Structure 1
Amino acid sequence: MKANNNLGAYPYLPVIILFAGLGSIVGGLIAELALLFIFREADFAQIGYQPLVYVGLLGFIPALLTGVIIASQKLWRGAHKSIIKTFLVGFIISASYMGAIVLYLGINSWVEVGVLLAFMAGVGLFGAINSAIAGCIALPKACKSGFDISAKKEDDGYDSLSFTK
């Protein structure tokens, strides 16, 4: 596979696909590990694959939206600000998504609003961690040099000064 050193060529589609796939799978695995940590006497076979499937399916839409936003920002792996942006975008998208789902189900009292905000903060933090992990894997590596070496070298006119002719 030929390396593309063109700084203008950002792999939008692979970043979006990797964020959607990895984000939902990583979220399911984190939920599975959290359940195994909470229920220490249980094993993976007792808990089953349900958290992996449910969180994976439920997390697919926010992971896809996060991937689209991250790709539109053209973030690269290795930059300190890219991890922070990925974390914040994951938090905002996940919290908003869960808030929209809970609001769709209905809120009947002010107590439920407080519970909703706490739930949104928890799910947002979960999505932010998930997004940061997916970003460490899915984002393309930044080029080491700042020069675009993909262009063909032109004649610089110094050949006439050469004494080897």
Structure 2
Amino acid sequence: MVSVPAPPDDLLKLDEQVCFALSVAARNVIALYRPVLEPLGLTHPQYLVMLALWERDQLTVKELSRLVSLDPATLSPLLKRLERAGLLSRDRDPADERALAVTLTRAGRSLRERALQVPPQVIERLGMDLAELKSLHATLTRVIAATHG
């Protein structure tokens, strides 16, 4: 099958822009998380940090920054708020005094049990089946990889 190039005017249609679809989808999906995360006392970026820590329990700020794709300047105030909430602690890394280690507290670890309800609630709110969401995730992961060059 031969691909026919789009007319030049079609290249600038708003509804045809991948960037527009991704932007609106991201905003809308994050908005779906808000009422689900509220009872946990977490914002969406805080939830991402907690997910990373629930997987590994202790990370340096640099590792955490890479995992959640937030620069350290953005991550730092977020970590301070989570520390004030009693969910994590920030201390010098015993293996490298120059690095700051982020560790879950007992309260942070126990919050994981309540957070297990987040994914099913979000899936239900999206109204999409799991296979479709896994396919979307795979596609978005390829887009992320492509943008990292």
Q: With structure 2 as the length reference, what TM-score do the two structures score?
A: 0.32
Q: With structure 1 as the length reference, what TM-score do the two structures score?
A: 0.30
> Which structure has the larger Rg over C-alpha atoms?
1
With a CA cutoff of 8 Å and minimum separation of 6, indicate the structure with the bigger relative contact order.
Answer: 1
